[in-house]
Structure 1
Amino acid sequence: MAFVEFQDVVKEYRMGEVTIRAADGITFSIEKGEFCVIVGPSGAGKTTVLNILGGMDSCDGGKIWVDGKEVSAYSRKELITYRRYDIGFVFQFYNLVQNLTAKENVELASQICREPEDAEEVLRQVGLGERMKNFPAQLSGGEQQRVAIARALAKRPKLLLCDEPTGALDYETGKSILKLLQDTCRNTGTTVVVITHNTALTPMADRVIKIKNSRVRSMEKNDAPTPVERIEW
């Protein structure tokens, strides 16, 4: 069994009389330590997949396994534990606490997990060794996103889930963030899943899952991923 398995996953939302299928029998797998890009147009169902995989939402049908455990069968309490210990989240907007320093923002995550990484060490790893005492308002967008990544990594997650992580950043800064995520995957063996609408990012992935109209249109394995530095869009 793969590290992540989705089998015929269905998610429906009811809006008055109308039922919308945000996931319509989605099936895919991701191996441990892979850098996976899930790509598709806006409204395709990518974020629904991420929310279900991250335990922020539950599915209405099908099965999900992560690291040999059936996440789709978890109770609400088990999902809280799963989100707390197993999942790191990075979003388009950084969700930092404005009146805490970079180091204190990272320490927030380490307070809720079992064996956290040292906050200062993780900040050094993401290139912010000189900025630990700065507040978010004193940091650029790219630096704030690095703090958000450090906060996620401090938990030592099994899965790092990134929803449009460069969406609020300029081109060069976005590239540096993607390089950081790719390097993190390679250096730590963390399984990284990036959601994006930007098809130009797909060459950097070990695995590319294309989603359209709430279904998986293709899943491809890339035996020779391109370094981010050589990708342009």
Structure 2
Amino acid sequence: MAFVEFREVSKVYRMGEVEVAAVDGMSFEIERGEFVVVVGPSGAGKTTLLNMLGGMDGCTSGSITLDGREISGMDERALTQYRRLDIGFVFQFYNLVQNLTARENVELASQICPEPLDADEVLAQVGLGHRADNFPGQLSGGEQQRVAIARALAKNPKLLLCDEPTGALDYQTGKAILALLQDTCRATGRTVVVITHNSAFTAIADRVIHVREGRVAAMEVNAHPASAETLEW
């Protein structure tokens, strides 16, 4: 069994008399420890996919499993535990608590997880050990995103989900964040999924899932992924 499995997953929203399928019979697999890029245009179903995999939204039909557990059939209480313990989230906007230091933002993870990683160690891993006592307002956008990544990693999650993690960053800073995510995947064996509209990111992925109109249009495995530091777009 693959680490992540989507089996004929659909998500239908009802708007009055109209039904809209944001995801329409989507199937794919992800292996443990892979760096995965899910790519597609706006409205293709990428964020809906991420929300369902992250336990923030349920599917209308089909099955979703992570590490042998079916999450598509979980009740709200079980999904809350799943989000807390198994998933690390990184979004386009950093969602840091402004009146907490970088260290304190990362330490938030220790309040909800049984086996959190040390905040100072994780900040050092993302290159911000020297900024642990700074508040978000004293950090650049790239530094704030590094704190957000550290906060997600400190939960010691099984899966790291990143929704357009470079979307609010300039080109060079965005490359640095992608390199950090790729290096983290390689160094820790953690499974990382990056959602993006930027097809250039596919070069650095172990696995690429192309999404279009709520379906998987194609999936490919890169035998020799490029380094994020070499990316250009």
**Which secondary structure does the structure 2 equivalent of 1:22 belong to?**
strand
1:89 matched to which residue of 2? 89
Deviation at 1:16, TM superposition (A): 1.8
1:69 matched to which residue of 2? 69
How big is each residue's C-alpha offset from its partner over 1:94-146, in whole Å with a ceiling of 9 and x where there is no partner? Answer: 00000000000000012100110000000000000110011100000000000
Superposition misfits of 4+ residues, deviation over 3 angstroms: none
**Which secondary structure does the structure 1 equivalent of 2:120 belong to?**
helix
Deviation at 1:73, TM superposition (A): 1.3
Deviation at 1:147, TM superposition (A): 0.2
1:232 matched to which residue of 2? 232
Deviation at 1:89, TM superposition (A): 0.1
TM-score normalized with structure 1 length: 0.99
**Rounded Cα–Cα distance in structure 1 between residues aligned with 2:104 and 2:167:** 25
**Rounded Cα–Cα distance in structure 2 between residues aligned with 1:74 and 1:150:** 28
**Rounded Cα–Cα distance in structure 1 between residues aligned with 2:35 and 2:229:** 16
1:41 matched to which residue of 2? 41
**Rounded Cα–Cα distance in structure 2 between residues aligned with 1:114 and 1:185:** 22
How big is each residue's C-alpha offset from its partner over 1:36-72, in whole Å with a ceiling of 9 and x where there is no partner? Answer: 0000000100000000000000000000110001111
One-letter amino acid matched to 2:113: C
1:18 matched to which residue of 2? 18
1:164 matched to which residue of 2? 164
Task: Give the length in aligned residue pairs.
Answer: 233
**Rounded Cα–Cα distance in structure 1 between residues aligned with 2:19 and 2:227:** 42
**Rounded Cα–Cα distance in structure 1 between residues aligned with 2:164 and 2:115:** 28
Kindly report which structure 2 residues correspond to 1:40-59, keeping only aligned pairs within 5 A, or say none: 40-59=40-59
Kindly report which structure 2 residues correspond to 1:102-117, keeping only aligned pairs within 5 A, or say none: 102-117=102-117
Deviation at 1:80, TM superposition (A): 0.5
**What is the alpha-carbon root mean square deviation over aligned residues?**
0.5
Give yes or no for the alignment of 1:101 onto 2:139.
no
**Rounded Cα–Cα distance in structure 2 between residues aligned with 1:182 and 1:201:** 11
Unaligned 5+ segments in structure 2 are: none
TM-score normalized with structure 2 length: 0.99
Unaligned 5+ segments in structure 1 are: none
One-letter amino acid matched to 1:37: V
**Rounded Cα–Cα distance in structure 2 between residues aligned with 1:220 and 1:114:** 36
One-letter amino acid matched to 1:139: L
